[in-house]
Structure 1
Amino acid sequence: MRVSWNWLSEFVDLEGCEPLATAERLSLAGLEVEGIERFGAGIEAVLVARVDEVSPHPGADRLRLATVDAGTHGTFVIVCGAPNVRPGIHVPFAPVGTVLPNGVEIQAASIRGVPSHGMLCSADELGLDADGEGLLELWGAMTPGQSLGEVLGLPDWSFELSLTPNRADCHGVLGVAREISALLVRPLKRGHGPVASSRLGSPRESAARFEVRIEDADGCPRYAFAVVTGLTEGVSPSWVQQRLRCSGVRPVSRIVDVTSLAMLENGQPLHAFDLERLSGSTLTVRGAREGETMEGIDHAVRALDPDDLVIADEAGPVAIAGVMGGVRSEVSSGTKAVLIECAHFAPSRVRRAARRHALHTEASHRFERGVDPGAVDRALGRAVELLVRIAEESGDRPLVSGDWVDVDRRSPEAKRVSLPEGFVARHLGLEVGRERELEILERLGFESVDGAFVVPSWRFDVSRPIDLVEEVARVVGYDSIPAVMPSMQPGVAVRRRMDAPLDQLAQPIVPRERLEGFTRLRDSFCVSGWNEAIHPAFGDPERQARLMGVNEFLRIRNPLGEETSVLRRTLLDGLLRAVRHNQSHGAERVALFETGKVFDPASGVPDGPEPQHVAGVLAGLASLRWMEASRPADLHDLQGALERLGHAVDRPIRFESPHDIDVPPWLHPGQAAVVCAGGGCVGWAGGLHPELVDSLDLQGPVLAFEADLDEWLAVAPATRSAAAVPRFPGSARDCALLVDRSLPWAAVEQEIRSCWHPLMEQLRLFDVYAGDRVAEGRKSLAFRILYRNPEGTLLDADVERIHGELISHLERTLGAVQR
């Protein structure tokens, strides 16, 4: 959402405030300002001029001479080549000596023999965003010689806000101004109540021409409208257009722009119907009927669902409530009278309809997050006031037809939340003071009554005393809270559950040892050059089935889409998509890991087991370090990372061949290993299946693993021991054995360790070869054994004897042949 600084200044006193500093305060208070844009800088010397006469240029067919009136600044003849220059229009005029935003200084010049004293400007030359080509035509009430900045409301700053879903109240200028009022201790100029306007009378439930019937009060608790006649549809005044552009909204027409202004100001969407194109005398808010269709203002015909909430006249639907209007009742250039709708629709109904029809509009965005039910009369009054004022400035004689209609079926009861004295200090560790607490909350719209606070209708996210503590903390500033060590029960981690009984809110549920294991795991990966990824727990059933080889999942009741319709059974889905994304952006090495829950539908109950898994993917180069030669990552790199991980969590792992176990579909059958810890299997590791590499458009090699972290950390931790520093030198022996190609190194290692001698200290595989120099069906495994006698000097005769016995043993048991 974008909001104008000048617009904010109409609601709160910003005298002496700096936009950049204010943006920083908003970000620290939870309303993140993602960007700031300057509008209209450098146009201070540009004036408004009226074109009085246009004549041909005597020496150029494509140029014309425009005589313009700049008020008290005089009358000037300007050589102009714009195709839209014509008598009667108002345009920006840069006199001689003006420096434009692009750095060009206007000078007196003779063009094809005719003197030109200044320049008539386009939007592009002024650094402004506007539709159309040629001169920037100005609309609305203005006088020649007036400053262009004064007419357009420039210069201005535009804040781009990234609002969290719970702060729907800040989807309007008033909501942001309310926050600034509390943060900067500045008074609000315009309050929260209805707009005082003589244009509207008292609300009633029906009018002479139209009445409203609400058949679905759950979907529409409140519906209001006002009728304005005597209009001429046309172009909005330039200040309206500029304000909309500064707010990120494209100007459309006078009536539509007024509803947009009222929405942006109050956060309450409105919709204008062409009164003469509505059928009958009744508007009905109801569910769509079977077989009904509606052509939207985007000219797409949509088949409506019975769950869709629609606004219908006697001929059928004219709008999908809160989402989009229909073309049949759309405001057009011939519109003379309008019915302005301002209603409160249930967020869930709007959300489902918007997603069902793949629509996302400014209105649906606000309704989905929640709109203040008390803003209906304020927004409607503001829209009528603006429309009548602009129409009168344009020469129309608008008439507001009678009293406005307001059908309020279910006015929400105001919530009350108590905030005992000292409660804030106990939870923040900061003494704010009762008077300051009251001031902050009252500026945010909370009313103090009998020791409790009445929650304003626009704050759906406040329901508990701790929520009020958060409001105070945001305004005071989290950076004001002193940094002290928290006091907590040793040995456990505590998690609070919203739905737990009061006596169970602080039950210890996660041993601290396991939390430390999670931390060590992340640290080990990061030290090894891996990056942590975090993905949503929702997944695509098709991709999950391809990875897991199963079709049973826990489905989401109201998913965002098919790609997020089930709870994941593997973490690899998100990681592989992240690999593809990174490789498509030129990443030569991708090393990602993730920890998170997976969900097995076999439990059959919502509170069933949700095992914690860890998974990782390594693709591309083994390392990007400048001192290391570039080479593709291989299984040894993955194995090394996992072995370091096992030692980091004090649960060493080993790799075994999957003899009698089905290999997961995501693994390469010939490059798969079982990850074991303690006495059982905790996961899988190896190369990604070639078919998956191709189907996901990945660049190989791609190595992956996934393990059950709960089972891994449930293994008894290994006892850490330290050996004395060797006093005597060791002796290494290399050995290359020819074995059957299907025989895994793990089997050879196991056989070596079965006859391990006390003088053997270390075993390491350093080469695997299966090329032309060995017989077909065979491979060469080269390993090194370090021998050492801790009690004295090692004798070569002893080493040769022990090493020879080992080779003989391997030849007998494995059929190996020494090369």
Structure 2
Amino acid sequence: MKISLNWIKDYLPALDASPEEISRAITFLGFEVEAVLHSGAPALENVVVGKILTREKHPNADKLSVCTVDVGEAHGGVRTIVCGAPNCDAGRHVLAALPGAVLPGDFKIKSSKIRGQVSDGMLCSTDELGIGTDSEGILLLSGEPALGTAANDVLPAGDVVFDVEITPNRPDCQSHLGLARELAAWFKLPLVYPQSRFRGLAEDAPERRDLLAAVQVDTPVECPLYSAHIISGVKVGPSPDWLQARLSAVGLRPINNIVDVTNYVLLEYGQPLHAFDAARLGGDARVSPGGQRLHIRHAQAGETLTTLDGKARALEPPTLVIAGAETPLAVAGIMGGEASGVSDATSDLVLECAIFKRQTIRRTSKRLGLSSDSSYRYERGVDPHMALEAARRAIGLILETAGGEVVGPVFQVGGEVPWQREVVVTHDYICEKLGFDIPAEAMRAAFESLELRITREEPTEARGPAWTLAIPSWRQDLDRPIDLVEEVLRVYGTDKIPATPLTSPGLLAEDDPTVRFNRRVTDFLVGHDFNECASYTLRSGEELSTWVSQTAAAELALANPFVADQSHLRPTLLLGLLEALHLNQSRGTPVQRLCEVGRVFIESNGQTHECASVGFLIAEDTTTRHWLKREAADFYTAKHLVAALANAAGIDFARQPVEPTSGDFLGWQDGHAARAGDLEKLGWKARFGLLDLALVKSLGIEGKVYAGTFSILPEKLADAQTRRRFAPFSLYPATLRDLALVVPAALPAEDLRKQLQKTARAVVGNAFAVESVALFDVYRGESLGDAQKSLAFSLVFRAEDRTLTDDEVNAAFQKIQDELLASTGYALRK
């Protein structure tokens, strides 16, 4: 919220602190000052009041004028100045920047020739002076200020505006008066409350039931107080300068005197108000027996309302509306309707002041996607005991700025709920919670400065007294003794907390298994030239329906989403990665490898599992030109990376069955993607391969995209974590043997490799080690026929304590061949 210092001084006339001191005070009181903005003219040297004596057309330029300007004897008397403004007429008082002046933007003024004519200065516009945006004409001064007077002496005094972030628990400070209370307590100054010339309807005031005949509230729980005053004979027009200046200072655009007054009181008291044009309420005694009336009710199905922002909005139950005799006039507590708003032709007003249930306003604002200054305050809480006083304040300002008179009847449905809240707190309790002593007199002064009235003070067996405090209605956040501890400390000053040694015992513990897993897989992928991404955990329902499944879209929907495009929990990291890839491609950034780690939510058999997950994608390079291109990524690239990710979780991926994808993720290309694992049985699952070409293209992504994901339940990570230990390696050389076998064409090479490795290790036993068994060649040809193929493996043998001899290796190798051929029936390829 923006707070004007000039405005605050209306309530704290004795405040003479600097903006820096006030900003510090606001911070120590518990609010954040995001910015301090200074308005008004900066210090302007050599810019003085002058009077244009003559104006002649420039001999060499159609749009320039040559003016003689008297700037006073002290500044050289009459000077010749060339000006391009259309309003530099003779006889007008202006501000002239003389040579040596430096205007905002480091614009230095000096004598110069303009189209052959000497110009000894410049006549200034508001834009050039830094006090406005008008650059079409020069600033014309009202009255006849003395020539040579410094610019800063005739320009309006500036203001200081504090942009303050108010915490949600302090709705009373969403107003100038509320923050003035806080500053009064801090600086120990008296607070002057605003006074209104209207204190109630006169006994002899005329009645105008033709303007408003009745007010009816159908839902008193949602609208416990509704008042309506009729003001007749107003004249709508521009607000006075002081009112426009106040609103402009805090970022509001002045509209007219009626609307400006309601906005002013909103920012002064924090109480929303709304003014209806009485002639546009709808309803006529000749048509509707009830005549013109206000009806606070729920919207009916099919009703619509064009609000003041010009948008037609569909209303439906249980939206609370302010209706006329037939149709809605305003969305209660949020925004008025265009049809009943105040216009230049308005002469009679109905001023609404109401209290609405905060949950009702919050629900309606969210459903309509409509927020306003009024709804912002109603959602956080408005002081019901200040509402009618705010209405009287607004009426007084309307009478002052727009004329007219208040006529009867005054309508009030409901009333102020009786308020009586007392909290008992002791001096020792406060000291105990703070951890240091504060004198009882200082506590008592803090309570009184915050208008927390002490109704009873009693001695206790401890050092200090016990106080019973009456809590004012605007402090609905105070209802426990601990709350008062904070109030004392805020006013006493957190900077006065004594310094004490702090002992903080260190806690030795290992990182969570999920953290360690995330760290390992991130390091691995980044080391393989991937760029790490971070995307939102929430995605849109349309994405899930398209890329995952309708079931996932139904199960992962949030009950109360904030925005439409973040309404579902993500079941996969690929959606965010694809979004990042599209963004990079659209900006011409040559990024092909992206990865991400994070939480995903996977629906399985009616249950939703929260999993630790890692995902990556590799895009085809369709733009970069190379004299020699590297081998493109393929299905096996993705499989190799997923295997490494699974191994980081303690899973031997090579032992897991792999099968084509189906069902649980629609985004894979048929025949070019595979899956492994089972979330229900094994606690993990993996998917890898080529993403669906049509879906990828629909996102605007060029080329093929290979991807992989690995997701695991966090408890399985805890089971899988084992500390790696160093094993000494042999210093002796290895011995290599090759073995080629003719096998059926359909036999997976990995199956044979595992069988060969098992046989070799059984044959060798503990004599020495079979260090590795690896496939190095696959051959198909006419000599073998279509039904067979040849697989060639290399076997590496090594001993830890000696160099192996050819005899012992050959003997073992021959026995391996014999046992393998006997058990499989395969043939050696010669």
Q: Which residue of 2 aligns with 1:686?
A: 688
TM-score of the aligned structures, taking structure 2 as reference length: 0.71
CA drift of 1:559 comes to 3.8
Name the SS of the counterpart of 2:688 in structure 1: strand
Q: Does 1:186 align with 2:187?
A: yes
Q: Does 1:790 align with 2:800?
A: yes
- Which one of the candidate residues 684, 705, 713 is aligned to 2:709? 705
Q: Which residue of 2 aligns with 1:506?
A: none
- Take 2:178 and 2:777, find their aligned partners in 1: how far apart are those partners? 67
CA drift of 1:26 comes to 6.0
Query: Contact (CA 8 Å) 1:43, 1:149: kept in 2 or not?
Result: no
Counterpart AA for 2:612: V
Change (3 A) 1:750 1:570: same
How many aligned positions are there?
767
Query: Contact (CA 8 Å) 1:129, 1:245: kept in 2 or not?
Result: no
Change (3 A) 1:765 1:403: farther
Q: Which residue of 2 aligns with 1:346?
A: 357
- Which one of the candidate residues 333, 342, 345 is aligned to 1:322? 333
Name the SS of the counterpart of 2:316 in structure 1: coil
CA drift of 1:818 comes to 8.8
Q: Which residue of 2 aligns with 1:549?
A: 549
Q: Does 1:411 align with 2:413?
A: no
CA drift of 1:198 comes to 2.3
Aligned-pair RMSD on alpha carbons? 5.8
Query: Contact (CA 8 Å) 1:201, 1:404: kept in 2 or not?
Result: no
Name the SS of the counterpart of 1:542 in structure 2: helix
Deviation per CA, 1:285-333: give whole Å up to 9, x if none: 2222344333322333334323222223335322222222222222223
Query: Contact (CA 8 Å) 2:308, 2:338: kept in 1 or not?
Result: yes
- Take 1:433 and 1:690, find their aligned partners in 2: how far apart are those partners? 73
- Which one of the candidate residues 202, 207, 214 is aligned to 2:217? 214
Q: Which residue of 2 aligns with 1:672?
A: 674
Name the SS of the counterpart of 1:125 in structure 2: helix
Q: Which residue of 2 aligns with 1:615?
A: 613
Name the SS of the counterpart of 2:219 in structure 1: coil
CA drift of 1:722 comes to 3.1
Q: Which residue of 2 aligns with 1:264?
A: 267
| Structure (1 or 2) with the larger CA radius of gyration | 2
Q: Which moved more, 1:776-785 or 1:704-713?
A: 776-785
- Take 2:123 and 2:497, find their aligned partners in 1: how far apart are those partners? 51
CA drift of 1:386 comes to 4.9
- Take 1:203 and 1:765, find their aligned partners in 2: how far apart are those partners? 103
Q: How does 1:158-237 map to 2 (within 5 A)?
A: 158-159=162-163, 161=164, 165-166=168-169, 168-176=171-179, 185-187=186-188, 190=191, 195-201=194-200, 208-209=207-208, 210=212, 212-227=215-230, 231-237=234-240
CA drift of 1:764 comes to 9.1
Deviation per CA, 1:709-738: give whole Å up to 9, x if none: 2441463654x4635423533537597989
CA drift of 1:613 comes to 1.3
Change (3 A) 1:316 1:662: closer
Query: Contact (CA 8 Å) 1:613, 1:706: kept in 2 or not?
Result: no
- Take 1:224 and 1:593, find their aligned partners in 2: how far apart are those partners? 56
Deviation per CA, 1:172-192: give whole Å up to 9, x if none: 34455556667xx3246647x
Counterpart AA for 1:516: D
Q: How does 1:440-519 map to 2 (within 5 A)?
A: 451=467, 457-458=473-474, 476=494, 516-519=512-515
Counterpart AA for 1:618: F
Deviation per CA, 1:393-420: give whole Å up to 9, x if none: xxx6565558976544463746556666
- Take 1:15 and 1:581, find their aligned partners in 2: how far apart are those partners? 53
Q: How does 1:257-296 map to 2 (within 5 A)?
A: 257-279=260-282, 281-296=292-307
Name the SS of the counterpart of 1:306 in structure 2: coil
Counterpart AA for 2:494: V
Query: Contact (CA 8 Å) 1:201, 1:403: kept in 2 or not?
Result: no
- Take 2:568 and 2:672, find their aligned partners in 1: how far apart are those partners? 31
- Take 2:827 and 2:188, find their aligned partners in 1: how far apart are those partners? 88
CA drift of 1:573 comes to 4.8
CA drift of 1:264 comes to 3.2
Name the SS of the counterpart of 1:220 in structure 2: coil
Query: Contact (CA 8 Å) 1:222, 1:408: kept in 2 or not?
Result: yes
- Take 2:11 and 2:639, find their aligned partners in 1: how far apart are those partners? 64
Q: Which residue of 2 aligns with 1:509?
A: none
Q: Which residue of 2 aligns with 1:731?
A: 734
- Which one of the candidate residues 635, 639, 649 is aligned to 2:638? 635
Query: Contact (CA 8 Å) 1:544, 1:570: kept in 2 or not?
Result: no
Query: Contact (CA 8 Å) 1:224, 1:407: kept in 2 or not?
Result: yes
**Where does the alignment leave 5 or more consecutive residues of structure 1 unmatched?**
492-511, 604-609, 623-628
Counterpart AA for 1:613: C
Query: Contact (CA 8 Å) 1:29, 1:477: kept in 2 or not?
Result: no
Change (3 A) 1:445 1:702: farther
CA drift of 1:100 comes to 1.9
Query: Contact (CA 8 Å) 1:323, 1:359: kept in 2 or not?
Result: yes
Query: Contact (CA 8 Å) 1:262, 1:379: kept in 2 or not?
Result: yes
Counterpart AA for 2:684: V
Query: Contact (CA 8 Å) 2:740, 2:790: kept in 1 or not?
Result: yes
Deviation per CA, 1:490-509: give whole Å up to 9, x if none: 99xxxxxxxxxxxxxxxxxx
Query: Contact (CA 8 Å) 2:227, 2:353: kept in 1 or not?
Result: yes
Query: Contact (CA 8 Å) 1:244, 1:261: kept in 2 or not?
Result: yes
- Take 1:765 and 1:440, find their aligned partners in 2: how far apart are those partners? 81
- Take 1:423 and 1:652, find their aligned partners in 2: how far apart are those partners? 61
Name the SS of the counterpart of 2:129 in structure 1: coil
Change (3 A) 1:550 1:305: closer
Change (3 A) 1:147 1:127: closer
CA drift of 1:15 comes to 4.3
- Which one of the candidate residues 312, 315, 323 is aligned to 1:301? 312
Counterpart AA for 1:664: D
- Take 1:283 and 1:736, find their aligned partners in 2: how far apart are those partners? 95
Change (3 A) 1:687 1:157: farther
Change (3 A) 1:566 1:104: closer
TM-score of the aligned structures, taking structure 1 as reference length: 0.72
**Where does the alignment leave 5 or more consecutive residues of structure 2 unmatched?**
283-290, 457-466, 621-628
- Take 1:22 and 1:777, find their aligned partners in 2: how far apart are those partners? 89
- Take 1:688 and 1:483, find their aligned partners in 2: how far apart are those partners? 61
Name the SS of the counterpart of 1:327 in structure 2: coil
Query: Contact (CA 8 Å) 1:71, 1:143: kept in 2 or not?
Result: no
- Take 2:662 and 2:672, find their aligned partners in 1: how far apart are those partners? 12
Q: Which moved more, 1:524-533 or 1:249-258?
A: 524-533
Counterpart AA for 1:553: E
CA drift of 1:101 comes to 1.1
Deviation per CA, 1:222-274: give whole Å up to 9, x if none: 23455555654444455655554443333333433333333234433333333
- Take 2:662 and 2:611, find their aligned partners in 1: how far apart are those partners? 20
Q: Does 1:156 align with 2:160?
A: yes
Q: How does 1:22-41 map to 2 (within 5 A)?
A: 31-35=31-35, 37-40=37-40
Deviation per CA, 1:464-505: give whole Å up to 9, x if none: 5666666678873799897957789x99xxxxxxxxxxxxxx
Q: Does 1:520 align with 2:516?
A: yes
Task: Give the share of equivalent positions with the same residue, in percent.
Answer: 30
Name the SS of the counterpart of 2:544 in structure 1: helix
Counterpart AA for 2:226: Y
Query: Contact (CA 8 Å) 1:178, 1:188: kept in 2 or not?
Result: no
